[in-house]
Structure 1
Amino acid sequence: MSKTTNYPDNFLLAELRNGEERAFDFIFRKYYKALCAQAVAYVSDLDIAQSQVQECFIKLWEKRSNAAKIENIASYLSLMVRNQCIDYLRKSKSIANLHQKTGVENVQNTTGDTVLYHEFEEKLIIALASLPERSREAFEYSRFEGLSYTQIAERMGISVKAVEGLMSRALKVLRVELKDYLPIVIILYKLTHL
C-alpha cells in the first residue's frame, strides 16, 4: 500500500479484517486528526482527546475480525470516539463537577446546544473523509493546525495558488455537506469562544 494512494474504505476494511497492519495504518492516518478535533470538543483537552482517540483505534484493531460488519468507517469511528469521550467524562466525574460549578439549570439549558455541536462534529468527520486526499490535507493543515496558505504550500510542496484551489474545493464540498449545521454551529462556536 502506498502512502499517496487513496484506497476505498471497503477495501481497507477487508484488509483490516485479514489483519493487514498497513490498512490499519492507512485508516489511522486518514482519520486521526479529525477524530482528535471531535474529541477535543467533548473533553476540552488535546492530550486527553488524543488518548481517547488512540483507545478507539486500539479497540478497532482488537475487533478487526468484525470489520466486515462496518458499513461506513468514518461514521463508525466518529461514534466510537463520541462514546469513548462520554465514558471518559462519566468516569472522571466531569459532569458532576460541572453541575456543582454552574448549577443544574445552566447545564440543562445548554444540553441541546452541546448535542447539536457534537452532531456537527460527527458530520464534519464524515464530510472530511469524502474529500479528495490533497484537499482534505490542505484543509486539516489550515483549520486544525492553524497553518497559513504559504506554510501549507511549503509543507505540501505546491504553490500558494494550488493551496487556494484545494481549499476552495474543500470548502465548497463542506458547505454542501454541512449546510444544515453551519449557521447554528457558527453561533455556538462564537458563544463558546467569547
Structure 2
Amino acid sequence: MKSKQIIHEEDFFHDLFMDYYPSLLSFARYYVPNEAVVEDLVQDVFVKMWELRGQWGKVENFSAYVYQMVRFRCFNYLRGEKLRGEMMRSYKEEKMSVVEVNQYIEEEIFRLVNQAMAALPSTYKQVITLSMEGYRVKEIAEKLNIGEETVKKRKQIAKQVLKEKLGKLYLFLFPLI
C-alpha cells in the first residue's frame, strides 16, 4: 500500500504534467522539428523531474526551471545529432536570445490562459469563447438558447474569474471583451 505522501506527490506530479506538457511540447518543437523526438525529450524531462521531486522546494521559479530543462534537453539531443556547431554557440550563451525569450513568453502566456479558461465552468467558458470570437450578446443568447441577461451575467462572472487568475495580463489579452 502506498503512503499518503507518495499519493500526494503523484497527484501533484500528474497536475504538473497536465498543466505543462502541451506547452513544453510546443516549446521543444521550436528546437527540434521531429514530433516523436520532441515527445521523448519532454517525457525525459518529466522523468527527471520526478526523480528530483525532493528538490522542488528549492526552485524559486518552477516554470522557468522546467522550460530551461526542456531547452537543455533539446540542445543535448541536437548536439548528439551532429548539429554541434550552430547549437553549441547558442547553448554556450548565458542569456536566451530574443527569439527564445519571445517563444518562452508566448508559450507561458498560452499555458496561463488555458489554465485560467479551464477554471471556468463550461457554460461560462462557452459564453466567453463566443464573445472572444466576436459574437454579440444577442447572438450568443440565440446560439446557446439562453436569455440575454444570462449571457451578460455569465460573461461578467467569467471576466471576473479571468481577471483574478491572469492579473494584469488580462488587460493585454482581453481588452475588448
Instruction: Please tell me the TM-score bracket, short chain as reference.
Output: 0.5 to 0.7
1:173 to 169, 172, 176: 169
In the other structure, the counterpart of 1:163 is: 129
Which residue matches 1:89?
Answer: 78
Q: 1:52/1:79 Cα in 2 relative to 1: closer, same or farther (>3 Å)?
A: same
1:121 aligns with 2:87: no
1:26 matched to 2:6: no
Task: Confirm or deny: 8 A CA contact 1:75 1:126 kept in the other structure.
Answer: no
Mark the runs of 5 or more structure 1 residues left unpaired by the alignment: 1-14, 100-106, 109-113, 139-155, 178-194
Identity of aligned residues (%): 23
The TM-score, its normalising length taken from structure 2, stands at 0.58
Contact 1:89 1:95 in 2 (8 A): yes
Question: Is 1:38–1:121's contact at 8 Å kept on the other side of the alignment?
Answer: yes
CA drift of 1:166 comes to: 6.5
Distance 1:46 1:136 in 2: 26
Any stretches of 5+ residues in structure 2 without a counterpart? 91-95, 135-158, 163-167
Aligned length: 133
**Cα distance, 1:122 vs. partner?**
1.6
User: Is this contact kept in 2: 1:30–1:129, CA < 8 A?
Assistant: yes
Match of 1:72 among 61, 68, 87: 61
RMSD: 4.0
1:58 & 1:95 partners in 2: Cα distance?
25
8 Å CA contact 1:129–1:136 kept in 2: the answer is no
Question: What's the CA shift for 1:157?
Answer: 7.0
Given that 1:74 and 1:129 are in contact with CA atoms closer than 8 Å, whether structure 2 keeps it comes out as no
TM-score of the pair, normalised by structure 1? 0.53
> 1:97-152: CA deviations, max 9, x gaps?
x79xxxxxxx99xxxxx9322221222233334436252699xxxxxxxxxxxxxx
Q: Which one of the candidate residues 106, 109, 117 is aligned to 1:135?
A: 117
- Does 2:33 match 1:44? yes
1:163 Cα offset (Å): 1.7
